[in-house]
Amino acid sequence: AQTVTQSQPEMSVQEAETVTLSCTYDTSESDYYLFWYKQPPSRQMILVIRQEAYKQQNATENRFSVNFQKAAKSFSLKISDSQLGDAAMYFCAYRTFTGANSKLTFGKGITLSVRP
């Protein structure tokens, strides 16, 4: 079965510090994208960052960066200079493109709290 594992249900970080959220996945596909989504209390799903599996260079978006280890099927998210607005649930997901469907497969999510 194709799965995404986020083993840490909760994490906490001090404001202005750095935190890393872990994610591992398992897919037999060779062509896929990886994503991190943020879900604040408003419940809106917000795309944080994405990584194409064929690209070796790790994606970065301002304070957000990933550590993509394809062989290990690991895709962690690093948040630098954490801000109070970063407090949310974060979901790791991947999307494949074979067949008719191109669904997102999500992990269970991790709740991140930011201490002032």
Partner 1 sequence: EAQVTQNPRYLITVTGKKLTVTCSQNMNHEYMSWYRQDPGLGLRQIYYSMNVEVTDKGDVPEGYKVSRKEKRNFPLILESPSPNQTSLYFCASSLHRGRDNEQFFGPGTRLTVL
What is the rounded distance in angstroms from the CA atom of residue 57 to the CA atom of residue 8?
25
State the minimum distance, in angstroms, from the CB of residue 91 to partner 1.
6
State the minimum distance, in angstroms, from the CB of residue 114 to partner 1.
21
**Residues lying near partner 1 in the complex (CB under 8 A):** 4, 31, 33, 42-45, 47, 50, 52, 91, 93, 95, 97, 100-104, 106-109
Beta carbon nearer to partner 1, 87 or 109: 109
Beta carbon nearer to partner 1, 35 or 87: 35
Give the residue from 103, 91, 76 showing the smallest Cα distance to 40. Answer: 91
Give whole-number Cα distances, 111 to 35, 53, 59, 84, 106, in Å. Answer: 16, 26, 22, 13, 14
State the minimum distance, in angstroms, from the CB of residue 49 to partner 1.
12
Beta carbon nearer to partner 1, 13 or 89: 89
Beta carbon nearer to partner 1, 80 or 104: 104
Q: Are 56 and 71 in contact (CB under 8 A)?
A: no
What is the rounded distance in angstroms from the CA atom of residue 85 to the CA atom of residue 100?
37
